[in-house]
Structure 1
Amino acid sequence: MTPLIAARIADWDDAYANIIHIPGGAAFPDQWLAEAASFRATRPPEALGMGELYRPQGTPRGLAVIIHGGYWMKFGPQWFSHLAAGPLARGWAVLLPRYTLAPEGRLAQMRAEIAAQIEAAAAGIPGPVVLGGHSAGGHLAARLACEDTPLSPATVARLRRCVPVSGLFDLRPLQRTTYREPLGLDDETAAQESPLFHHPLPGIDLHLWVGADERPVFLQQTRLLFETWAGIPHETRLTVEPGRHHMDVIAGLAEADHPLCEALAGAS
């Protein structure tokens, strides 16, 4: 039998870098910002705490939450407003929460801030709640779907599914990167804030999503959580989307008929 061999990672910062390994990668943040501004010009959001809330015409089917990425240190809802378009077209209200970025904010604080915005939105929007997020936002979405979630029991009872997109679920490798200091990743924090080391809420569906052209560590992180959590949530799925990399894997959320939008905002 041929043994499996894993290549040694010599540069952990490079292993977790995305933009420099994607042709035209540096242009994506400006592209997101322009698309988001164009969307807001036609569908101005309601301010909800620190975040943006979009309501569909008529009674919402429920509340869809999309948590932005940026390695917990960059961006905000105003870069990703256009991603609300897909769930909105399906009849969902959409919350894009904002959280205090590192190094001022800490990971537990970010979770608490997002949870507070979800609670405020859910208080005025009936129906199920679904969680999604990209990259660092995928981590935060998964962490909110753990048994020690800061969400209230009433909101947990309404939570139907969690869809982390290209998330980071074991934070211990990031202790080998320059992210360690701004994120405060000592051993205790890395373990406490890694979804991998927590039990997921058993009553929800989990659908992990990642691009086939992602950096190997992101594929590894997603498969690791899938294999660890499989069988605990009500249903656990993994989609590796062909032809997608870390910066365009979220584009499907803006399209009502895209499978990623279906995964998040499909039948409740």
Structure 2
Amino acid sequence: MDLEAEYNNRARVADSAARIAAWARDAAAFREAWAEADHALPYGAGERERLDLFRPGPGQAWPIALFLHGGYWQALDRSFFSHAARGLLAEGVAVAIASYDLCPAVPLARIVDQARGAAAMLHRRTGRRIVATGHSAGGHLTAMLMATDWRALDPALPADLVPAGLPISGVFELAPLLGTSIATALQLSRAEAEALSPRNLPPPGGALHLVVGGAESDEFLRQSRDFAVHWGGTFEALPGLNHFTVLDPLGAPGGVLARRAAAMALAVA
């Protein structure tokens, strides 16, 4: 199997650069238009340890979802994904979109810790449990949040702080990346790749729904399908969508992913 071809989505999708540029434009326009938001809220001391919190309306009494962006833990930030909140906001769910540091400036384990810090900050701010969702690398981080022992991090946090997750085109086994160009910035040993793979962690319980584009590589389809079986979640492949267009139904009001994520958020609110 050509693992580079299976996992290098920018090379696999011909218009990937144009789609990422369109994300940036759509996200900036959405931030300009959406008034009910707090921007660059700190969840840690670092420059990139910030999140934007979008609310459906005035006040704080909303179910909440945390969105974690993709980029193979080595590219992009929250500014490319603000518009992904639109669909959940239409369903009455507040959405936090977080940035984090990138490899190789920090190790992947540090990024996992930052995702945990963002979730903990949201709970302290809102008092609510959180549905996690994320795209690509953010799908991996979504699963890692579900698997977290929150009481070990802070006894004041609820044990089920993140009881539900909706990873979109996530990577749950990191070892296949080691022989690809993607691994250069990650600088993972095989032992680290295994330890940071959600597929190798015991199922934490909770609600898990995995989504992947039907036009994605065989490996992306396999990873989500196998992970759903391992953790007892559900799985769907959205017909005709690739690794980039699969995110569209989350940001679309009435979109299939927005409705699914909103139902999960309401169930744990």
TM-score, length of structure 1 as denominator length = 0.88
Counterparts in 2 of 1:236-247, with a 5 A limit? 236-247=233-244
Match of 1:252 in 2: 249
- Deviations 1:88-140, CA, capped at 9 Å, x for gaps: 22222211111100001211111111211221122222433100010001011
Taking the aligned partners of 1:155 and 1:262, their CA distance within structure 2 comes to 26
| Structure 1 contact 119–155 (Cα < 8 Å) conserved | no
Taking the aligned partners of 1:239 and 1:167, their CA distance within structure 2 comes to 13
The structure 1 segments of at least 4 consecutive aligned residues displaced by more than 3 Å after TM superposition are 147-153
| Structure 1 contact 61–128 (Cα < 8 Å) conserved | no
Gaps of 5+ in 1: 1-8, 231-235
Gaps of 5+ in 2: 43-49
| Structure 1 contact 48–117 (Cα < 8 Å) conserved | no
**Greater shift after overlay, 30-39 or 48-57?**
48-57
| Aligned residue identity for 2:28 | A
Question: For this pair of structures, how many residues does the alignment match?
Answer: 253
Match of 1:157 in 2: 160
Match of 1:28 in 2: 19
TM-superposed CA distance for 1:52, in Å, is 1.3
CA root-mean-square deviation? 1.8
Match of 1:209 in 2: 211
| Structure 1 contact 60–126 (Cα < 8 Å) conserved | no
Alignment partner of 1:167 out of 166, 170, 177: 170
TM-superposed CA distance for 1:239, in Å, is 1.1
Query: 1:194–1:90: structure 2 CA closer, same or farther, 3 Å change rule?
Result: same
TM-superposed CA distance for 1:56, in Å, is 2.2
Match of 2:39 in 1: 46
**Greater shift after overlay, 164-173 or 138-147?**
138-147
Taking the aligned partners of 1:188 and 1:148, their CA distance within structure 2 comes to 21
| Aligned residue identity for 2:52 | E
| Structure 1 contact 130–161 (Cα < 8 Å) conserved | yes
- Deviations 1:27-52, CA, capped at 9 Å, x for gaps: 11100000000001012542211121
| Aligned residue identity for 2:3 | W
Taking the aligned partners of 1:209 and 1:60, their CA distance within structure 2 comes to 28
| Structure 1 contact 48–121 (Cα < 8 Å) conserved | no
Counterparts in 2 of 1:66-215, with a 5 A limit? 66-148=67-149, 152=154, 154-202=157-205, 204-215=206-217
TM-score, length of structure 2 as denominator length = 0.88
| Aligned residue identity for 1:101 | L
| Aligned residue identity for 1:48 | L
Query: 1:42–1:151: structure 2 CA closer, same or farther, 3 Å change rule?
Result: farther
| Aligned residue identity for 1:53 | L
Aligned-pair identity (%): 32
- Deviations 1:47-70, CA, capped at 9 Å, x for gaps: 211121112214433220110000
**Greater shift after overlay, 257-266 or 132-141?**
257-266
Query: 1:155–1:42: structure 2 CA closer, same or farther, 3 Å change rule?
Result: farther
Match of 2:47 in 1: none
TM-superposed CA distance for 1:184, in Å, is 1.9
| Structure 2 contact 123–161 (Cα < 8 Å) conserved | no
| Structure 2 contact 8–182 (Cα < 8 Å) conserved | no
**Per the alignment, in what secondary structure is the counterpart of residue 246 of structure 2?**
coil
Taking the aligned partners of 1:156 and 1:75, their CA distance within structure 2 comes to 31
